[in-house]
Structures are given as C-alpha cells and as structure tokens.
Amino acid sequence: MNQEPQQGKRKTAKGKGMIPKFSMSWIYIAVFIGLLGLQMMQGSFSNQVLPSDFNDLAERLAQGHIERVRVVNDKEVQIFIKEDILISHADYEELAESATGDDINPGPHLSFEMPSESLDRNLDRFYQQNPSFLEQNQPLLVEFKDEPNYFGDIIGWLAPIMLLLFFWLFMMRRMGGGAGGGSSQIFNIGKSKAKMFDADAEVKTTFKNVAGLEGAKEEVLEVVDFLKHPKKYTKLGGKIPKGVLLSGPPGTGKTLLAKAVAGEAKVPFFSLSGSDFVEMFVGVGASRVRDLFKQAKEKSPSIIFIDEIDAIGRARGRNQMTGGNDERENTLNQLLTEMDGFETNEHVIVMGATNRADVLDRALMRAGRFDRVIYVDLPELGERKAIFQVHLKPLKLSRNLDVSFLARQTPGFSGADIANVCNEAALVAARKNKKSIGKQDFLDAVDRIVGGLEKKSKIITPDEKKTIAFHEAGHAAISWLLEFAAPLVKVTIVPRGKSLGAAWYLPEERQLSSSNQILDEMCAALGGRAAEDLILGQVTTGALSDLEKVTKQARAMVTVYGLNEKLGNITYYDSSDQNEYQFNKPYSEKTAQIIDEEISSIIETQYTRAKDLLAANKDKLTILANELLEKEVIFKESMEDIFGKRPWTSRMDIVEKSNAVAKPAKQSKAKKATKSKEKTASKAGDQDQGTDGGN
C-alpha cells in the first residue's frame, strides 16, 4: 500500500524536469577542455615542420638547399629551405604548402634540438671535413632568437595553484559531506552528519526483532508513546522526558533498540555517532550540534539518537595534566546547552547509547537532560532462549534441537555473541556437508568462539602432553568436588588458540556471591598447578591465566567487597571513577602491606586446600588424566563414572523449576482477571438496558 504513492511522486518529479544541482565537477571539466583546446589551436595554425638531425643538416647543406638556420631559445635548431628549391624539388612538395594561406611555406621547414655551442662545433667540423664548400659558398647563416612561450609559462604558473585548489576543494567536500549529501561544498563543513529516517523511510527493524530486553523495551516504548500521544501526558501537567540513555556492556542490543524505535515511532529519527562531531577544525563540533537540533526542531516531534556518546560526553577536567581537549569540551558544552538551555526543545527527545556510562560528565547525566538511564544488561537464561529463537528462524535446523539447552550452554553471552554462535554453527555444518544444523554443530561453534580454533598440528612432546593432562584433570576434579565451583561440561588437551588445553564449565549466573563461593572458584582455578606439584613434583608456566584470575579475585575480596576479617568492612573502590588520575593511593603504606599479606594468604590457603583434596582423590585423578591422554576429550558423563554424581543442585535448575511453577500461576491469575472484567462488563450492559427501558 505504501509503495504506490512513492512511485507516483517520483514520476511527477521526473516529469517536471527539475533543475540539477550545480556541481564543481563541471568547472573542472570545462577548464581542462579549454586548456586542451588552446594547445590544439596553437598547433593547428602553424606550418608543417618535419623532424631532423645534424647529419640531415650537413647533407642538405652540402647539396646547397639550406638558406639559413635559426636557433630558438638556445635549444631548438630551425632549418629554412631556399624558396626556389622548395618549388622545384620534388622532395619538398609537402613542405612547400602553407597552412596560413600564403603562396609558399615561409618556414621553418625542419627542426631538431641541439644547443648552440654543439651546433657551432659540429659546423666547424663540417667545414674542416669539406674545405671545398667554403671555397664555393658563404658560411651558413646562423640566427639566434628568444621566443617567449606564453602557453607554457601560464601552465607552469597555474598547474601548482590549480592542483592545490582542487586538493583543498576535494578535502572540504569530503569533510563537509553531511547534511548536504554528496554535493556538499566547503561551507557545509559545520552541517550535521545525521541520517534522517522519517515515516516514509524503509526501516524494517521493529520491536518484534528485539528479544530478551523486556524491561528496556517497556521504557523505550513509553518514549515512543510520548511522541505519538503527547496530550495524554501533558494534560495532567507532566513534561515529556528530554533524554534517554541506554547503558550496558557491548553487544547487548542498545543500538538495536534505537533501530526499533526508528521503525516504530513513525516520527523523524536522526541517527549519528558521537565521533561524527569530532573534526580537525575548531568549532565544527559545536556547529554540527547546533545544526542537528535546528533540524530536529523544524521536524518536531522527533528523536535524536547519538551512538557511542562517550566520544563527546566524557567528564571535563580529566586531562588537565596533558592540556585537555578544548574542542571536545566545546562540543559537549554546546550539547548541554541545546538539551537544557534557555530555549525549550519541545517534542525533541535525545537518545544516547554507551558502554562507558561511568566516564560521562555529571552535567550530562542530571535530570532535565538525560532524565532516564536504561541499563541494558547481559541476557539471563530465559532472555537468551528468546534471542536464540529470533536468530534461529532463518536457519535450517534438525528436528531434535533443544533451544533451552543452547541457552544453558551460553552463560554470559550477549545478544551479538548469540548471533555469532548461530552463524558459526551454520558454517560448521556447511563444512561437514550437512543438510541441517544439529546440536553438536552449536557446541562446536561455542567451543570455537570461546577457546579458538583447534590446532592438532602443534608439536607436543609426550612429557608436555602428560603435564597438560594432569593440569586439566586437576581443574576438572576440584570443580567437581566443590559445591560452589562451576560444574564441568568437558575437558580437552587438544590445543586451542593460545592454550595447550582447556576445560569448559557452566558458570552459575549468581546475582550475589559469598566468601565461600569465591573461595571455591579460586580453589578450582588453582587445581591445575596443584595437580602438577602433587603428581609430577614440579610446576610449570601453564598456570599463568589461572594465577591472574585468582589474584584479581583475592584482591577484589580484600579491597573491593570488604570480605576480609583483618581489614574489616571497608572498601577502596570508587564507583564515580574520580581517582583515576591520582597518583596517591587511598590507604597508607602499612595498610598496603596488610593488603598484600592478606591476598597472598588467601591464595596460598586455597592452593593448600586444592592439594589436600587432590591427594585424597589421587587414584581418581590419575584415572581421569590417563583417560584424557587416551581420548584427548572427555565429557561430563566420564566425570560421573569416575567421581560419582554431584550431590548439589545447580542454580540454573532451581531457576528453571521456579519459572515452571510461576508460569501456570500467572496464567491462572490472568484468566481470573479476564473473567472478572467480562462479568463487570455484562453487568454494566444490563444496567444500561434497564435505564433505557424506563425512559
């Protein structure tokens, strides 16, 4: 329905014969053609001159055909043939014809390049070799003349200037190609580069394409409703929010939400990135901000979306030591003024997206500018399932594929990561020449994304392979024996990426973590080095990533979360990030020593604990390592056979059970609510009928 009117508009526009926009390219072409024409005209009105050399000159001179010679600008030798020879001699028939309308070609007739000094030397040599020539004839008459080359001089002066001018215009067009499109000139450099999407624009993304962000969708939908029905809110005295900031980790769907708003709002939508305001010229950023809001006001109600707003919205005064960036601060000041200055921007809502909300300026975050801050977090189990269902629609899947299983296998994955998993699974299945994508293809895709590509060709000695096997077996054993450690999925000693071996776990998506939970995770991370020390009697460098993880966790327990008995309930974490550029620490040297001692004590305690657990289960550890050496990859089932089933229920199972119980209860409540509404509506209808009959 919407395509037919658009086509009609295009036809009428063509039928009117609209005047095309002026372009500098026509000037460039005209100048080039003019210069080329001048050169061609200069050559067309000149007589024919044949190329020659000194040997030809000597031969014709001996024959008595040459009248005189002229040297032009000390480089070009021009030869003039006698008039009677031109008329009578058959060899000069073409040269005798004049191009200027004269009876006979006055000359020059022949030419070659040679300096005057070389010409004199060669003539002297000719006279010495031919003494009879001077006895019978006079010496050859040689004239010297300087002819100015106006065309060459003009080109020599104009060429560099025109080259610089064309380069300057080209750069200005490239930098100012925003609001005016491809035909923008030098004066459009301060114009906004925002892309505008209106009701006629074909934006296919809607809220149907956004899955798993229910809370964020509700708040964004309210913004859309504000613009569609403003009187609904203003009649009660309320004001439409001026700004909405989408904050969260990368890949969680912030930009996707903005695209959905553009597709649903049906109002002018201006989209651009924070870096589009940054330019090499002073004042351009602020000018583009002014132009952007000017366009938005003219087309209000409208939405302005600035992606990666931290490019211009960073806190001011952070880089005082390095001199700061005045241009970026000027752009930010202009944005602050436009969002909440003396002028009112009614029905213009600013949406921003960033994954660094902690570095934004406080003035930008206050109420009246960004009234709402919507945090778009990583999806949980149910949300990941919904995201998988969206990305699995275009894929050819096997019948027995369980979407819930895929959601459980991808904890901590963002929406972009899940889309990448689906695409990678399709590529894996295509490599295997499959007709559909199965469960194993998705698992292989997750393994490749998390661990990297398998490197079976890497040369590893038997001793190194044994060390890797016991290291990974130590991780697997400790994680299986401790309650709060992440449950194991599979263990492999096949090199992947930078690692020589890997163990895959399903981390518990906890909202809160206790000391026991963190300590169990640390103990499991140290299980690899503990197994090396217990079985092989020596440790290797393979535990670098484990030590890094453990040290960060121990430091966080002591300095951030206040989970250390010696230091007590204290934290040195600054959520405002104001101490980023300070050299002095927020604690004394004595406290720093205590912190280091406590971190070391926590790590060593968990290392000893891991060694004791492995020593108590040494036989099972050896069986597991030998099976790894034999099969290279073992799964959860092998762990159950060796160590027995884990007696603890995972958090995911508890969450799924609670959701399964909660759904029927919600459905029953919804049914009761609908029934009560129907009853009240029927009663109201009966009352209306009774009053009508009475009248």
Question: What is the Cα–Cα distance from 496 to 645, expressed in whole angstroms?
Answer: 29
Q: How far apart are CA 574 and CA 592, in angstroms?
A: 17
Query: Of these residues, 264, 279, 472, 532, which one is catalytic?
Result: 472
At a CB cut-off of 8 Å and minimum separation 6, what does 580 contact?
318
How many helices (H) and strands (E) would you count in the chain?
Answer: 27, 14
* Sheet bearing 502-505, strands edge to edge: 502-505, 488-492, 633-635
Q: How far apart are the first and last CA of the chain?
A: 48
DSSP 3-state of 67: strand
Q: Does 632 participate in catalysis according to the annotation?
A: no
CA distance 370 to 679: 44
Helix, strand, coil percentages in the chain from 3-state DSSP, rounded to 5? 55, 10, 35
Q: Decide: 370 and 364 in contact? Cβ < 8 Å.
A: yes
**Residues near 162 by Cβ (< 8 Å), separated by ≥ 6?**
31
Task: Map residue 531 onto helix, strand or coil.
Answer: helix
Contact 151, 42 (CB under 8 A): yes
**DSSP string across 653-695:** HHHHHHHHHHHHHHHHHHHHHHHHHHHHHHHHHHHHHHHHHH-
The sheet that has 195-197: what strands, in order across it? 195-197, 269-273, 302-307, 348-354, 243-247, 372-375
Order of strands, sheet of 110-113, starting from the edge strand that comes earlier in the sequence: 50-51, 110-113, 76-81, 66-72, 142-145
Given the DSSP bridges, would you call strands 488-492 and 502-505 parallel, antiparallel or unpaired?
antiparallel
> Could you give the CA distance from residue 681 to residue 674 in angstroms, rounded to a whole number?
11
With CA atoms as reference, report the closest residue to 524 among 500, 553, 501, 499.
553
Tokens standing for residue 191: 């114009």
d(CA 695, CA 692): 5
Angle value at C-alpha 11, between 7 and 13, nearest 5 degrees: 115
Catalytic residue IDs: 472
